[in-house]
Amino acid sequence: MPNLDTAFLLFDYAAVAVFGATGALAAARRKHDIVTFMFFAAMTGIGGGTLRDLLIDAPVFWINRPGYLLTCIAAAVMVWIVGKSTWRMTALLWLDAVGMAAYAVVGAAKALALGVHPISAVVMGMMTATFGGVLRNVVAGEPSILLQREIYVSATILGATVFVVLAGLGVDRILAGILGSGCAFALRGAAIRWDLRLPEFNGK
């Protein structure tokens, strides 16, 4: 079994790759060129982690590790080559769910490792998992996930909370990460499959 640092590094790269692909898919829906594909992929892939690192006063994770940017570029090229309109929206939804679930745990884990309070670590997990997608949707001219009732942010909070609670109870952090991301993906997947939404405000 890989050690903790290696496991979360792999988790981190996987999340960046998947989110990068969702950024490129958003560019594909607008029929942009390959450079814009790469821009969208990088913005989506590293946006949430950048915000997290700035807020917890940590070195921005991709500055001295160009592998993250190269991962985003590779994801953009892959989408450019194989992307087909018949599955583009479905792929965007499910890849986004995978990236969101992974990043919710990665963000919370990094915050905990730097001594951030567990409650704040959950918030960092949520921000890491959502901010790149917010940037992607705003730049693509699509409705922000934060302004819709679909279950998305709730899933990131669930995943980060499960991880933080289990880690606090002494559960192996790799196992806690798998369970946390699994819970986040399950809730988001159920929302996609059955169009689950939070109740709207009916106040007058």
DSSP-derived 3-state class of residue 150: strand
Summarize the confidence of residues 153-168 as an average pLDDT: 97
- The pLDDT score that the predictor gives to residue 40 is 96
- Establish if 204 belongs to a structural domain: no
- Establish if 156 belongs to a structural domain: yes
Angle at 144 between CA 54 and CA 141, to 5 degrees: 105
Query: What's the pLDDT band for 118 if we cut at 50, 70, 90?
Result: very high
Residues contacting residue 97 through CB under 8 Å, at least 6 positions apart:
155, 185, 188, 189, 192
- Establish if 201 belongs to a structural domain: no
- The pLDDT score that the predictor gives to residue 129 is 95
- Establish if 86 belongs to a structural domain: yes
- Establish if 202 belongs to a structural domain: no
- Establish if 151 belongs to a structural domain: yes
Angle at 127 between CA 131 and CA 180, to 5 degrees: 120
- The pLDDT score that the predictor gives to residue 146 is 64
Which residues span the domain enclosing 188? Answer: 4-194
Output the DSSP codes for 5-53: HHHHHHHHHHHHHHHHHHHHHHHHHTT--HHHHHHHHHHHHHHHHHHHH
Rounded distance between C-alpha atoms, residue 16 and residue 195, angstroms: 26
Summarize the confidence of residues 98-113 as an average pLDDT: 94
What is the chain's mean pLDDT, rounded? 90
Summarize the confidence of residues 130-140 as an average pLDDT: 91
Rounded distance between C-alpha atoms, residue 137 and residue 23, angstroms: 9
Summarize the confidence of residues 55-65 as an average pLDDT: 95
Summarize the confidence of residues 133-139 as an average pLDDT: 90
**Are the C-beta atoms of residues 19 and 44 closer than 8 Å to each other?**
yes
**Is the pLDDT at 204 greater than 80, yes or no?**
no
Number of domains into which the chain is organized: 1
- Establish if 167 belongs to a structural domain: yes
**Is the pLDDT at 1 greater than 60, yes or no?**
no
- Establish if 50 belongs to a structural domain: yes
**Are the C-beta atoms of residues 47 and 69 closer than 8 Å to each other?**
no
Summarize the confidence of residues 53-76 as an average pLDDT: 95
Among residues 55, 75, 87, which one has the least CA distance to residue 14?
Answer: 75
Query: What's the pLDDT band for 180 if we cut at 50, 70, 90?
Result: very high
- The pLDDT score that the predictor gives to residue 169 is 98
**Is the pLDDT at 43 greater than 70, yes or no?**
yes
Q: Which amino acid is it at 108?
A: A
The whole model's pTM is what?
0.91
Rounded distance between C-alpha atoms, residue 169 and residue 75, angstroms: 37
